[in-house]
Amino acid sequence: MDIQFYQNGVFLLIILFFYLFSVLDGFDFGIGMMLPFAKGKEDSGRLVSHIAPFWDGNEVWLVIGAGFIVGAFPAVMGLVLGNLYLPFLLLIVGLILRAMALEYSYHDLARQRFWHLVAACGSYLVTILGLFFVGTIVQGMPFEGKGVLSTRPGDYISTFPILFSMAGLMVVIWHGMTYALNQDPVESRQKGAAKFWWVLVGSILVLLVAWILCLPQTMGRPLSMAGAGFCLAGVIGGRWSLSRKGWPFRFSCLIITGLWMLIGTSLYPLVLPAYHHPEWSLAIASAAAPLSTLKLLFVLGWVLVPIIIAYSYFMYRVFRKGN
Partner 1 sequence: MTELLISRMQFGVSIGIHYLFPITTLGLTLFIVIFETLYLAKREDQCRAISTFLVKLLSLIFVAGVATGLLMPFSFGANWARFSTYAGAVLGAIISVEAITAFALESVFIAILLFGREKVSPRVYWISAVLVFVGAHLSGFWIVAANSWLQTPAGYVIAGGRVELANLSQAIFNHSTLIRFAHVVTAAWLVGALLTAGIAAFYLARARHEAFAKRLLSMALPIALVAALAQPVLGHFHIMEVLENNPEKDAAYEGIFKSVNGAPLLLFGIPDAENQVIHFAVGAPYVLSLLESGELMGHVKGLEEYPPESWPPVNVIFTTFHLMIMLGVVMIGVAALGVFLMWRKKLYTVRWYLMLLPWLIPLPYFANELGWIGAEIGRQPWIIYGVMRTSVASTITLPLWQLTLSFVGILLVYTAIAVLTFVSVKKLVQKGP
Among 177-185, 193-201, 257-265, 314-322, the segment contacting partner 1 (CB under 8 A): 314-322
70 binds partner 1 (CB under 8 A): yes
Minimum gap (Å) between residue 295 Cβ and partner 1 = 9
201 binds partner 1 (CB under 8 A): no
Query: What count of residues does the chain have?
Result: 323
Minimum gap (Å) between residue 85 Cβ and partner 1 = 5
Site string for partner 1, 93-122 (x = CB under 8 A): x-xx--xx-xxx--xx--------------
Among 163-171, 173-181, 223-231, 315-323, the segment contacting partner 1 (CB under 8 A): 315-323
Site for partner 1 in 149-178 (CB under 8 A): 149, 151
Q: Are 208 and 231 in contact (CB under 8 A)?
A: yes
Asked if omega into 269 is within 30° of 0 (cis), the reply is yes
Minimum gap (Å) between residue 64 Cβ and partner 1 = 4
Which CB sits closer to partner 1, 52 or 201? Answer: 52
241 DSSP assignment:
T
As beta bridge partners, residue 272 has 282
144 binds partner 1 (CB under 8 A): no
45 binds partner 1 (CB under 8 A): no
16 binds partner 1 (CB under 8 A): no
Helix/strand/coil for 164: helix
Return the residue of 56, 144, 155, 184 that touches partner 1, per CB under 8 A: 56
Minimum gap (Å) between residue 20 Cβ and partner 1 = 11
Give strand ranges (E) for 59-195.
143-145, 148-149
Q: Are 297 and 73 in contact (CB under 8 A)?
A: no
196 binds partner 1 (CB under 8 A): no
301 binds partner 1 (CB under 8 A): yes
Q: What is the DSSP string of 258-313?
A: HHHHHHHHHHTTEEEPBSS-GGG-EEHHHHSPPHHHHHHHHHHHHHHHHHHHHHHH
Give strand ranges (E) for the chain.
143-145, 148-149, 270-272, 282-283
d(CA 298, CA 87): 30
d(CA 247, CA 241): 6
Count of chain residues binding partner 1 (CB under 8 A): 62
Residue type, 84: L
Q: Are 244 and 190 in contact (CB under 8 A)?
A: no
Sites of contact with partner 1 (CB under 8 A): 52-54, 56-57, 59-60, 62-64, 66-83, 85-86, 88-89, 92-93, 95-96, 99-100, 102-104, 107-108, 149, 151, 289-290, 292-293, 296-297, 300-301, 304-305, 308, 311-312, 315, 318-319, 323
